[in-house]
Amino acid sequence: MPGATADGAYDGAPTYQTIAAHGEDIDVVIPPRSTAVPSGEPNPPTQRDRHLEMITERGRLAWQAATSYGQRALVETTMGRYKAVIGPRLRARGFAAQQTEVAIGVAVLNRMLAEGRLESVRCRRARA
């Protein structure tokens, strides 16, 4: 199922309506504001209402784990890293050339990260 994830600033009916206009089967993962209340609609509960219910029953951290909301932070970190190393904008004009530019940038970034990634090894303590 396709999905859309955003931070809490996008919580609200306009965002959900815009996403729903692109397809009813899109899974929306936006944390409701702390002051959010259920819609009160008599129809089956909306995605947002189901999120509110889960947060009320199990807590916000359990909701984040169940919806994989933490992936958003990883994506934002990766995009920030890409922009810092490769640059904030594409230089190519055509779409095909832009795709190639991004593919090369990702390959370069992945290689840099692989070279700089630490390898953790657990050592046993030497006993005297």
- Tokens 């795709």 locate to 99
What is the bridge-based pairing of β-strands 27-29 and 3-5? parallel
Tokens of 92: 């190519």
How far, CA to CA in Å, does 89 sit from each of 86, 92, 104? 9, 9, 14
pLDDT for 71-125, tens place per residue?
A: 888 888 888 989 998 999 999 999 999 999 999 999 998 898 888 777 778 888 8
Task: Give the mean pLDDT of the chain.
Answer: 88
- Tokens 């995605």 locate to 47
